[in-house]
């Protein structure tokens, strides 16, 4: 067993999700690297210390530069807000560290290109935490599509809906609400939520080549938590776009933080000539599959038993599930990060880099930038993919 010495940037939501993955990796996956929780970095020293003692990190830093310079760190994990990804990743790559970065990879394509180039020039393993690829049901959808069971694809339909920013008195900016501050987040739902939908869509259905988008900011001004002043809101509260895929299918994408009752409603459906798949993150252990014609007595027929199947994705034949419990027992949100980490580490060990790496995640960044440009200019935009 080799040590994999981790420097975790950020002790927030993702700091917790990733730390859990590092701690459980060798319990569930047959890897030859054991993560060692060396140091966590956050801006508030007391909170960082509390986090370190809770999760078992050896020390804390409050300046990310100290962590990327530390000789006893092999892997820098970026779980900080979006405006910090670029600078930290460049410095980490320059120092020869492996880099795992949260999504969206960057604030824009220019930053993302530099980041992809930096990790490639340094020759360091890298990954972006698009963890939804590691939901077993979504990985099963990928398998079903790759097996040719959907046939020629016609429609891709994605939604990612939440409802937590409807109140006009929710401030923007600061520790808890940086997602509402465009200078820190880069965009609103486009980079935060649709980046996930776009990554999943292109993984399942290939490149998005052209799109047209409309965004809306429903609450135009909010108090800024840091300055205390009422300031214009620069993020998109909602975004919808139409897309053309390279394979000839068409797609719709919808995201908002104003869908009352929807907490993390991340769904997609792909309709093809021979079948369809549907997934809903609020029922993550199920993949729904419609097969137009099924094998009966050696022939493919559409008959009285044709219909949607709701597959409980918990069998050992299903992606990732042979690592966990017995059929019929579920895994959770946190396991998507554990599965992603396992793929990353096993990829290093096998010499086959896990996806999405920075180069692959740059494609999603291109689509996000094209969405924002289209919304700004009211025009169809080519993504360059």
Ligand X SMILES: NC(=O)c1ccc[n+]([C@@H]2O[C@H](COP(=O)([O-])OP(=O)(O)OC[C@H]3O[C@@H](n4cnc5c(N)ncnc54)[C@H](O)[C@@H]3O)[C@@H](O)[C@H]2O)c1
Taking the C-alpha atoms of residue 34 and residue 32, their distance in angstroms, rounded to an integer, is 7
Task: Report in angstroms how near the CB of residue 302 gets to ligand X at its nearest.
Answer: 39
Q: Is 187 in the site for ligand X (CB under 6 A)?
A: no
> According to the binding rule CB under 6 A, does residue 12 interact with ligand X?
yes
- Is 84 or 339 the residue whose CB approaches ligand X more closely? 84
Please select the residue that binds ligand X; options are 42, 251, 272, 356, rule is CB under 6 A. 42
**Residue 358 is a binding residue for ligand X (CB under 6 A):** no
Q: Which residues pair with 40 in a beta bridge?
A: 8, 60
Report, in Å, the least distance between residue 131 CB and ligand X: 5
By CB under 6 A, name the one of 5, 103, 222, 363 that touches ligand X: 103
Indicate whether 180 belongs to the interface with ligand X (CB under 6 A).
Answer: no
CB of 384 to ligand X, least distance (A): 23
Q: What are phi and psi of 5, to 5 degrees?
A: -85, 120
Q: In the bound complex, what is the minimum distance in angstroms from residue 333's beta carbon to ligand X?
A: 9
Listed in sequence order, the residues at least 6 apart from 293 whose beta carbon sits closer than 8 Å to its beta carbon are 274, 300, 301, 302, 306
**Residue closer to ligand X, measured from CB, 81 or 206:** 81
Looking at 6, 8, 14, 204, which residue binds ligand X (CB under 6 A)? 14
Least spacing, CB of residue 178 vs ligand X, in Å = 6
Closest CB to ligand X: residue number: 12
Q: In this structure, are residues 245 and 234 in contact, taking their beta carbons and an 8 Å threshold?
A: no
Pull the structure tokens for residue 277.
């798949």
| Least distance between ligand X and beta carbon 85 (Å) | 6
Taking residues 71 to 90 in sequence order and writing x for each that binds ligand X by CB under 6 A, - otherwise, the string is: --------xxxx-x------
Does 236 engage in binding with ligand X (CB under 6 A)? Answer: no
Near ligand X by CB under 6 A: residue from 77, 102, 199, 369: 102
Rounded to the nearest whole angstrom, what is the least distance from the CB of residue 10 to ligand X in the complex? 3
Q: Could you tell me where the DSSP H helices lie in 77-210?
A: 85-94, 109-122, 136-146, 174-177, 182-185, 189, 195-205
Question: How does DSSP classify residue 180?
Answer: G
Q: Which of 129, 278, 286, 358 binds ligand X (CB under 6 A)?
A: 129
**Which lies closer to ligand X via its Cβ, residue 187 or residue 383?**
187
SS3 290: strand
What separation, in Å, do the N-terminal and C-terminal C-alpha atoms of the chain show?
41
CA distances from 104 to 120, 145, 175, 347 (A): 19, 26, 18, 22
48-76: b or e for each residue (b if 16 or more CB lie within 10 Å)? bbebbeebebebbbeebeebbbbeebbbb
Q: Which residue has the tokens 């319990």?
A: 27
Closest CA to 127 of 144, 102, 110, 145: 102
Which chain residues interact with ligand X by CB under 6 A?
Answer: 9-15, 41-43, 64, 79-82, 84, 102-103, 129, 131, 192
């Amino acid at each position: 067993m080799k040590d994999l010495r981790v420097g975790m940037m950020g002790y927030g939501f993702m700091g917790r999700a990733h730390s859990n993955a590092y701690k459980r990796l060798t319990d569930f996956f047959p890897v030859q690297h054991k993560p060692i929780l060396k140091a966590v970095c956050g801006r508030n020293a007391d909170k960082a210390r509390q986090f370190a003692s809770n999760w078992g990190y050896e020390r804390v830093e409050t300046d990310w530069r100290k962590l990327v310079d530390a000789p006893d760190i092999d892997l820098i994990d970026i779980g900080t807000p979006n405006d910090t990804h670029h600078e930290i990743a460049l410095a980490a790559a320059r120092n020869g560290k492996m880099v795992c970065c949260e999504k969206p990879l960057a604030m824009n394509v220019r930053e993302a290109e530099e980041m992809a180039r930096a990790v490639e020039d340094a020759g360091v393993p890298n990954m972006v935490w698009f963890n939804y690829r590691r939901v077993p049901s979504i990985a099963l959808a990928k398998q079903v599509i790759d097996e040719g069971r959907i046939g020629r694809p016609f429609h891709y339909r994605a939604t990612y809906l939440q409802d937590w920013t409807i109140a006009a008195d929710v401030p923007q900016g600061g520790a808890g609400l940086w997602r509402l501050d465009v200078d820190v987040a880069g965009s609103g739902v486009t980079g935060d939520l649709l980046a996930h939908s776009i990554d999943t869509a292109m993984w399942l259905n290939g490149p998005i080549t052209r799109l047209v988008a409309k965004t809306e900011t429903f609450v135009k001004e909010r108090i800024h938590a840091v300055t205390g002043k009422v300031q214009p809101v620069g993020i998109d509260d909602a975004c919808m776009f139409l897309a053309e895929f390279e394979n000839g299918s068409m797609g719709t994408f919808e995201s908002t933080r104003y869908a009352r009752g929807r907490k993390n409603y991340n769904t997609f459906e792909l309709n093809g000539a021979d079948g369809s798949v549907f997934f809903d993150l609020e029922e993550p252990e199920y993949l729904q599959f419609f097969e137009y014609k099924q094998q009966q007595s050696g022939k493919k027929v559409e008959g009285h038993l044709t219909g949607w199947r709701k597959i409980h994705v918990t069998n050992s034949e299903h992606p990732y599930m042979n690592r966990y419990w017995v059929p019929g027992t579920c895994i959770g949100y946190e396991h998507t990060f554990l599965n992603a980490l396992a793929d990353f580490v096993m990829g290093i060990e096998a010499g086959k880099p896990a996806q999405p790496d920075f180069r692959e995640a740059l494609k999603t960044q291109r689509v996000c930038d094209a969405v924002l440009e289209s919304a700004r200019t009211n025009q169809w935009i080519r993504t360059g993919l």
